[in-house]
Structure 1
Amino acid sequence: MTAVSAAAALPASALAQGIEKKKVTIAVGGKNLFYYLPLTIAEQLGYFKEEGLDVEIVDFAGGSAALRAVVGGSADVVSGAYEHTINLQSKGQMFTAFALQGRAPQIVLAVSTKTMPDYKGLADLKGKKIGVTAPGSSTNMMANFVLAKGGLKPTDVSFIGVGAGKGAISAVQSGQVDAIANLDPVISMLDAQGLLKIVSDTRTLKDTEAVFGGPMPAGCLYAPSAFLQGNPNTAQALATAMVRALKWLQQAGPSDIVKTVPESFLLGDRALYLAAWTKVREAISPDGLIPEAGARTALRTLQAFDKELAGKQIDLSKTYTNEFVRKALARVK
């Protein structure tokens, strides 16, 4: 029996007593985004503490920066895009996703009505500046994929890191970028100001299917495979806290959300924040399980624009596990 299987077989009381690493640092890229809302809920409602953990969440400008923190050893776990586990395996680094937060990426690619009022199609983006949360992040990957559909290579545009909050809004308002790949609430706020023409949208399951041709797993908790093998009870506690947060979100009303998230997440506009929430609500995973078909979609998407990855053999079964979440679902009703 593997370490992962052994953890899944243990009763909850044994897990609480046998947590190998009580202090865990989670790196995230853009914590205020709805993409990471389950993480914030687990933190704000004390679910990590109740599972016996002392969790510190460190926020970075984008997912690629959060990943570097774990690779560099300053964080234990990433809350970020699932597809990073595939990219990492192609470079010989084994990381495993173990709790899904989002079943749709929620990323929107939109052009600026300020700098590109006459936009007609993707070919118009050649030579333009596109704002992403951080270069190499999932926003960058999504933009690459959509551009490839229009016959453009990643090198045909300039990607600029603008973060996932007020900096991203300012970049569009000031005309610093010609297009942006970002998420809510940032996109809804810019759209409400008439500053965007939406090109590609993955905030709903239907739109995600249209863009990627299948289910696309999004935000998740992932960590070095060695961390999960060495700390199965810790991983179980993390997964259980996330499942509790996902279950809470299935029942929560808009006012519950606003009362629970930090005031700064609202970006100064409570009504717009809540309107944005209604657009992305179905993108939140109801159960934390990573679908096998979703892993295949992610690999196919990456191979569409990354020629290096196109020739690599990837073992998708090593990029994720549902064992911790299944154990949590048996306990959390």
Structure 2
Amino acid sequence: MKLRTILTAAALALAGFSQATAAALEKTSITLGVGGKPLFYYLPLTLAERLGYFQEQGLTVEINDFGGGAKALQALIGGSVDAVTGAYEHTIRMQAKQQDIRAVIELGRYPGIVLAVRKDKAETIRSAADLKGATIGVTAPGSSTHIFVQYLMAKAGLGTDDASFIGVGGGPSAVAAIQQGQVDAIAHLDPVISKLEALDAIKVLVDTRTAEGTKAVFGGTNPAAVLYLKKDFIDANPNTVQALVNAFAKTLRWLEKATPEQVAAAVPEEYWLGDKDLYIKAFVATRPIYSVDGDIDPASMKSTLDLLTVTDPSFDAKAIDLGKTFDGSFLKKVPAQ
């Protein structure tokens, strides 16, 4: 009976804490946009949802999954979502357009994007320099996968419009695009890439799922997925933003220690693309991409700015204040575990 009394008291205390937390929030219901939720790029979002960490912070989070990161960004600018888990580079691009969008926690420190060519095109497309005239599948035009290929092409001496780009979405539609010959090459993420490798349908040309692969492309780390919001929303809802950051920070800590089997068990079965063992294998290959502390250092910010200036020579890098693309103040207030 004593143990039951203690457990009941603890549960009531936790409930009271949650209610107190919720009462302090400016908004308890949040609409969050993402472009391809089943992809490993956004795994921390799915885990925060499935592990109950949003609810623990007193938040009800409605997730809208769009065809790609660019569409999720458009939803934020248009006001149909409050926040986005998307590529850090969008905060820089929007600043150039006089839109104050700021990241508050890094979820991925490496892009995790892979450029691969359809197997029957492997003899003619051996590197980014051979992509001229090719049709390339990306998650969505304007998304990080699209910009990534443009960056590789520009570094190889090609124009960013020397190839055709098709949005193939995520999951089964991306796999089908290669299998049905709709595209010659694809820039995508896991589990799509691992599924295509298992089907022996592609040959990998560039791989940023590891520190080594990312350094080979960018010369160092390169921030990937982040949680970003409009500056005016952050200013008006600091407690709500803190709750979101708390939930994602706890997720990153869980992810750092979780086994591949625990991760697979935590996500919806449809994320496995019909093969749980393959999903686990893909997670192992992708695991290094996730941020450990959620912070973004100045060198990594500069790396992303360089990516944008290479893909768009007209981009005015001098007009960008990188210090206004990331607000690390909420990370400093995350409760210790």
The one of 317, 325, 336 aligned to 1:332: 336
Q: Please give the per-residue CA displacement for 1:128-182, whole angstroms capped at 9, x wherever unaligned.
A: 1000000000000111111111111111010100011100000001110011000
- The match for 1:255 is 261
In the alignment, residue 265 of structure 2 is paired with which amino acid? K
1:44-85 deviation per Cα after TM superposition (whole angstroms, max 9, x unaligned): 011101101110111111100111111111100010000000
Tell me how large the CA RMSD over aligned residues is: 1.6
What's the counterpart of residue 313 of structure 1? Answer: 319
Residue number in structure 2 paired with 1:5: none
Where in structure 2 are there 5+ consecutive unaligned residues?
A: 1-16
Structure 1: stretches of 5+ with no match in the other structure: 1-10
Instruction: Work out the number of aligned pairs and report it.
Output: 321
Kindly indicate whether structure 1 or structure 2 has the higher relative contact order, using CA contacts under 8 Å at least 6 residues apart.
1
List 4+ stretches of structure 1 deviating above 4 A. Answer: 11-16
Give 2:34's match in structure 1, choosing from 28, 34, 37: 28
CA distance in 2 between partners of 1:221 and 1:12 (Å): 23
Partner of residue 5, structure 2:
none
Instruction: Report what 1:75 is aligned to.
Output: 81
Distance 1:52 1:314, change over 3 A: same
Alignment partner of 1:90 out of 85, 96, 105: 96
Deviation of residue 112 (structure 1)? 1.0
Aligned to 1:265: 271
Q: Does 1:125 align with 2:131?
A: yes
Residue 40 of structure 1 is matched in structure 2 by 46
Q: 1:183 maps to which residue?
A: 189
Partner of 2:141: 135
Query: What CA deviation, in whole Å up to 9, does each residue of 1:294-316 have, x standing for no partner?
Result: 11110011111112214551000
Q: Distance in 1 between matches of 2:277 and 2:316?
A: 44
For residues 88-116 of structure 1, the C-alpha deviation after alignment (integer angstroms, 9 at most, x for no partner) is: 00111110000111010000011111345
The separation in 1 between residues aligned to 2:292 and 2:165, in whole angstroms, is 33
Deviation at 1:14, TM superposition (A): 7.3
Larger Rg: 2
Match of 1:172 among 174, 178, 186: 178
Give distance in 2, aligned partners of 1:88 and 1:233.
24
What is the TM-score with the length of structure 2 in the denominator? 0.92
Q: Shift in Å at residue 289 of structure 1?
A: 1.3
1:203 counterpart letter in structure 2: R
Q: Which residue number corresponds to residue 224 of structure 1? A: 230
2:244 is the counterpart of 1:238: yes
Rounded to whole Å, the distance in 1 between the matches of 2:242 and 2:18 is 9
Aligned residue identity for 2:215: E
Q: What is the CA-CA distance between 1:118 and the residue it aligns to?
A: 3.0
Match of 1:287 in 2: 293
CA distance in 1, matches of 2:329, 2:112: 26
For the 8 Å contact 2:109–2:290, the answer to whether it is kept is yes
2:95 partner SS: helix
Q: In structure 2, how many angstroms separate the alpha carbons of the residues matched to 1:113 and 1:203?
A: 20
Structure 1 residue 161 and structure 2 residue 167: aligned?
yes
Residue identity opposite 1:72 in structure 2: G
Separation in 1, partners of 2:207, 2:264: 24
Q: What secondary structure, in the 3-state scheme, does the structure 1 residue paired with 2:117 have?
A: strand
